[in-house]
Amino acid sequence: MDRTPPPPDARVAGVEPAALGLRERKKLRTQKDLQAAALRLFAEHGFDHVSTDDIAAAAEVSKTTFYRYFDSKEDVLLGDKAEALCHMRDALAGRPDTEPPFEALRGAVKEVVGHFALDREASGLRQRLMRETPSAMARNLERQREWETLVADFVRPRLAPGANRDLLARVYAANTMATMRATIEHWLDSDGADVSELLDEALAAFAVSDDRRPAPAPA
Amino acid sequence: MDRTPPPPDARVAGVEPAALGLRERKKLRTQKDLQAAALRLFAEHGFDHVSTDDIAAAAEVSKTTFYRYFDSKEDVLLGDKAEALCHMRDALAGRPDTEPPFEALRGAVKEVVGHFALDREASGLRQRLMRETPSAMARNLERQREWETLVADFVRPRLAPGANRDLLARVYAANTMATMRATIEHWLDSDGADVSELLDEALAAFAVSDDRRPAPAPA
DNA sequence: GGGTATTCTGGCACTCAGTAACATTTCAGT
DNA sequence: ACTGAAATGTTACTGAGTGCCAGAATACCC
């Protein structure tokens, strides 16, 4: 519930290894070990034929420690989505208030997906395991729903005030995340396509033009 | 895994009670009892302060029987979504092949939401409990994702063939379900609004015009 | 009516996810 | 080296979900 986020500063594993104290380096390493062990075991035996004890044993720690780094067995499969969330938040926050919100959102989503496509191998394995594992898929969807509230909070003040402002903000946020997710799933089933191009197509086909947007809210 | 669906014919509880055998009637009753007991206990003590043993005891059956009727503790909270799924499938299947797919989908969604708003009391309680219960929300999102594949399969053959046909079908399906879900959530937070009107607004604001749709696929 | 096959149920034992409490080790700063 | 803090390990526990098997209830047939 009030667990301290495993890496107090969510950061890419492996940067500035010497700048951190021994303690932090060890923590980073055990987290990485747990993740690697889990992914390997999942790929080898399947998600639900691997217990958290197995993962902990493979990473040479105790089950307790595993749960100190990950909230659930599913979370270790989802990976560094928290980091991606920060990226998106930053990307949104960096946009000027006057920019059309829909355009800003499209840019932020493309950025996140691009970051997603960097380690294509690991991402693909994760997604493949996820769609074979209902509980992991469910957990992933729940996370994406949290993103929606972030996006909705970004869009809402940029829409014209009115009775349906909140509705439109929610719906637009939900649609944006849905587009992103569906595009990624399609990408996994198609071989060798470029995610960014697919995302462009999807966004272009279903994007709401900023022209149709209500006038920006008065500051 | 290969559990027989609790009511072999998913049907509204309480129709034709005399036409069924004693066995079927009893099964229907225990299922209803379990659901009622669960909802009552959840509302009273909160979802995760109620164990499956408690629910079973309240319905005067064993825990084993509970799991013969519901796949999980979350499913009993979600309710008769399987029935709603059938409704939507029927609504889609009833549309002529020549009808613009986007229009047909909008109609089907509105129908489902309308059915959703009938027993507003129960639906509201369910949704309220759900958003307080991450695991139930996750399970619900997973179900909605299953709907997406249904919708995508409906839309796909009605789009012009091409490299991105599957992509567009997936994305449109995901957006449709997302719009529906976001609208319902907004409806729960707003007091007294009409769900159907909200849905109309949402669909109108973000709908893809059928004019922009590629030419219908040759039969 | 009775007898039999089928189906539903209950009870028991079990695996495993996740949590809590407490003791032990390990690192950081002096 | 010494001390406080942080990370880890050990143990024990709750509760979800499953499998197995015996017994009860129902349907079916005569």
Q: What are the DSSP calls for A21-74, one per residue?
A: -HHHHHHHHHHHHHHHHHHHHHHHH-GGGS-HHHHHHHTTS-HHHHHHH-SSTT
One domain, residues A82 and A137? yes
**pLDDT score recorded for residue B38:** 97
Q: Which residue, chain included where needed, has tokens 């958290």?
A: A52
CATH number at A126 reads: 1.10.357.10
Token code pair at residue B170: 């997936």
Q: Of the residues A70, A89, A107, which one is the last residue of a structural domain?
A: A70
Residue B161 has pLDDT above 50, yes or no: yes
Domain boundary among A70, A98, A130: A70
More confident residue, A2 or A151: A151
Across the interface, do B167 and A141 touch by the CB < 8 Å criterion? no
Position A17 scores a pLDDT of: 46
Average of per-residue pLDDT across A182-211:
84
- The pLDDT tens digits of the residues spanning B25-36 come to 999 999 999 999
Q: What is the DSSP letter of B54?
A: H
Smallest CA–CA distance from B182 into chain A, residue? A171
pLDDT at B133: 95
Residue among B170, B173, B179 whose CB faces A171 most closely: B179
Across all strands, nucleotide nearest A50 (CA–C1'): C16
In the structure, how far is the CA atom of residue A22 from the C1' atom of nucleotide D2, in angstroms?
Answer: 20
Q: Do B206 and A208 touch (CB under 8 A)?
A: yes
Q: What is the pLDDT of residues B10-20, one digit of tens each?
A: 334 444 445 67
For B123-129, the CB contacts below 8 A with 24+ separation are B124/B188, B125/B39, B125/B43, B126/B39, B126/B77, B126/B78, B126/B79, B127/B184, B127/B185, B127/B188, B128/B188, B129/B39, B129/B42, B129/B43, B129/B47, B129/B77
B216: confidence class by pLDDT, cuts 50, 70, 90: very low
Q: Are B172 and A141 in contact (CB under 8 A)?
A: no
A84 or B184, greater pLDDT: B184
Which CA distances in Å does B92 have to A72, B12, B219?
38, 20, 18
Q: Which residues of B touch A78 (CB under 8 A)?
A: none
Q: Does residue B202 share a domain with residue B175?
A: yes
A93 with A176, same domain? yes
**If we measure between CA atoms, which residue out of B174, B180, B197 comes closest to residue B108?**
B180
Partner-chain contact A175 B170, CB within 8 Å: no
How many domains does chain A divide into?
Answer: 2
Do B140 and B165 lie in a common domain?
Answer: yes
Sign of the Cα torsion B42, B48, B52, B54 reads: negative
Residues whose C-beta lies under 7 Å from strand D: A 23, 26-27, 30, 60-65, 68-69; B 1, 21-24, 26, 48, 50-53, 63-64, 67, 71-74
Kind and range of the H or E element at B189? helix B165-189
Shared domain for B58 and B86, answered yes or no, is no
Distance, CA of A14 to CA of A132 (rounded, Å): 30
Tell me how crowded residue A29 is: count the other CB atoms within 10 A of its CB: 14
Question: Are B85 and B47 members of one domain?
Answer: no
Does B108 share its domain with B197?
A: yes
Q: Please indicate, yes or no, whether residues B159 and B182 belong to a single structural domain of this protein.
A: yes
- Which residue in B149, B170, B187, B189 has the most chain A C-beta atoms within 10 A of its own C-beta, making it the best mutation to test that interface? B170
The domain spanning residue B52 has which CATH number? 1.10.10.60
**Chain A hits for B148, Cβ within 8 Å:** 182
Does A1 map to a domain? Answer: no
Two tokens at B206? Answer: 């973000």
The average pLDDT across B59-70 equals 97
Claim to verify: residue A47 and residue A114 sit in the same structural domain: no
Q: Are residues A45 and A91 in the same domain?
A: no
Identify the CA nearest to A18 among candidates A28, A9, A10.
Answer: A28
DSSP class of A212? G
Mean pLDDT value across residues B65-80: 94
Inside any domain, residue B84: yes
Nucleotides of D under 7 A from a protein CB: 6-11, 15-20, 26-28
**What would the mean pLDDT of B112-117 be, rounded to a whole number?**
81
Nearest C-alpha of chain A: how many angstroms from B141? 6
| Section A64-70 average pLDDT | 97
**Which pLDDT value is given to residue A181?**
94
Long-range contacts of B83-87 (CB under 8 A, 24+ apart): B83/B10, B83/B11, B83/B12, B84/B112, B84/B115, B84/B116, B85/B146, B85/B147, B85/B150, B86/B10, B87/B111, B87/B112, B87/B115
The mean of the pLDDT values for chain A is: 84
B71 Cα to chain A: minimum distance (Å): 13
Q: Let me know whether A88 and A151 are in one domain.
A: yes
Given this model, what pLDDT does residue A189 score? Answer: 86
Confidence of residue A92 (pLDDT cuts 50, 70, 90): confident
Q: Which of A82-86, A169-173, B137-141, B176-180 has the lowest mean pLDDT?
A: A82-86
Residue B196 lies in a domain: yes
Q: Give the residue numbers spanning the domain of B61.
A: 22-70
The verdict on a CB contact (< 8 Å) between B170 and A164 is no
User: Given this model, what pLDDT does residue A210 score?
Assistant: 56
Average pLDDT over residues A63-68: 98
Residue pairs spanning A and B at CB distance below 8 A: 105
Q: In this structure, what DSSP letter does residue B193 have?
A: -
Instruction: Write A65-70 long-range contacts (CB < 8 A, 24+).
Output: A65/A30, A66/A34, A68/A3, A68/A6, A69/A6, A69/A30, A69/A31, A69/A34, A70/A6, A70/A34
- Identify the DSSP state of A210: G
CB < 8 Å to A179, chain B: 171, 174-175
Residue A183 lies in a domain: yes
Domain-located, residue A15: no
Q: Is there a contact between B186 and B205 (Cβ–Cβ < 8 Å)? A: no
Residue B181 in any domain: the answer is yes
Question: For residue B101, is pLDDT > 70?
Answer: yes
Assign A208 a pLDDT band (cuts: 50, 70, 90).
low
Whether residue B6 lies inside any domain: the answer is no
**Is residue B88 within 8 Å of B111, Cβ to Cβ?**
yes
Q: Give the SS3 label for residue A80.
A: coil
B90 to chain A, minimum CA–CA distance in Å? Answer: 24
B54 and B99, same structural domain? no
Q: Is residue A157 part of a domain?
A: yes
Contact state of B202 with A137 under an 8 Å Cβ cutoff: no
Token readout for A98 is: 């006057």
Measuring from the CA of residue B51 to each C1' atom, give the nucleotide at the shortest distance: D15
